[in-house]
Amino acid sequence: MKRALIVWGGWAGHEPEQVAAIFADVLRNEQFEVEVANTLDVFGDAEKLLGLDLIVPVWTMGEITKEQAANVSAAVQAGTGIAGCHGGMCDAFRTNVDWQFMTGGQWVAHPGNDGVEYTVNIKHSSSPLVEGLQDFQVTSEQYYLHVDPAVEVLATTRFPVASGPHALNKAVDMPVVWTKRWGVGRVYYCALGHHADIVDMPEVKELLRRGLVWAAEGKALAAGGQAGNANYTGMGDSN
C-alpha cells in the first residue's frame, strides 16, 4: 500500500483543513495509507519523508525552515512524489526559493481577485494525465504565476480576462496544470483550488486525482530504474 502525507495549515482563507480532507478521501479511495498533519514539524523527520510515496502540501503563506525544506527536497529527489494545488503548494513559502525551484512556480497575482469567470484549456498531448478531459469554465481566482520553463504544461488559461497593469501586454496562455521532475521524483501542480468547493468540482477533482496518483507512482518506478525510461507506457509518460 502506498503511503501519503498531507500537511495543512497557513492562511485560513484557502480552507486548508477542508482541502486536506478532500485530498485524503481521494487518496484513500485509491487505496493509499494516508497521514494528515497540521504542523510543519513533520518535515523535520528526514527518514520518514524518504519512506513516503507522496507528499501533499496544503499550506499557504507560511515560513519553513531551511532544514524542513531541505528534507522535503531530498525526499522528492530520491523518488517521493509531491503534488498539490493553488496557494497550498505554489504560494506556500514566499521567502524560500528552493521550494519554488522544486515545485516549478510561484504565485504573483490574481487580477480581478475571486469571482473571475475563465476557461481552463486542456492541452492535449501525449500525456495520459489529461486524456479524455475537456476544456471547462470556472469562476474563481485566476492565478498569474512565474513558472519554471522546464515544466510540462498540461492545461492553460488565457490572460487578460480582468483588467490590470498587465492588460496592455499581448495575450498570454498561463499554465494552470503542470508536471516536472525533481531528481527522480515527480512533481504535479494544479493552480485551481482557492476554496474547497473549487477543489471538489468534478473536473478539478479528476485532474487532481490523476496527478496525485501519478506523482506517487514515481517512487516505485525510480526504484525499478524506469524513472528516465522514455519507452515506459504507463501513466508515467507525462514528463
Each residue's pLDDT tens digit, 197-218: 999 999 999 999 999 999 999 9
The confidence score (pLDDT) of residue 234 equals 37
The confidence score (pLDDT) of residue 238 equals 56
The three grid cell numbers given for residue 115, joined into one nine-digit string: 469571482
Cα atoms found within 13 Å of the Cα of residue 76, Cβ hemisphere only: 26
Query: What are the backbone angles phi and psi of residue 123, rounded to the nearest 5°?
Result: -95, 100
The three grid cell numbers given for residue 147, joined into one nine-digit string: 513558472
Closest CA to 116 of 139, 87, 86: 139
pLDDT tens string 130-143:
999 999 999 999 99
- Placement of cell 495543512 in the chain: 8
What is the C-alpha to C-alpha distance for residues 131 and 208, in angstroms, rounded to an integer?
13
pLDDT tens string 14-51:
999 999 999 999 999 999 999 999 999 999 999 999 99
| Complete domains list, the chain, with CATH | 3-106+177-237 (3.40.50)
Q: Across-strand partners of 131?
A: none
Closest CA to 125 of 106, 152, 89, 163: 152
Which H helix or E strand runs over 9?
A: strand 3-10
pLDDT tens string 122-171:
998 778 999 999 999 999 999 999 999 999 999 999 999 999 999 999 99
Asked if pLDDT for residue 227 goes beyond 80, the answer is no
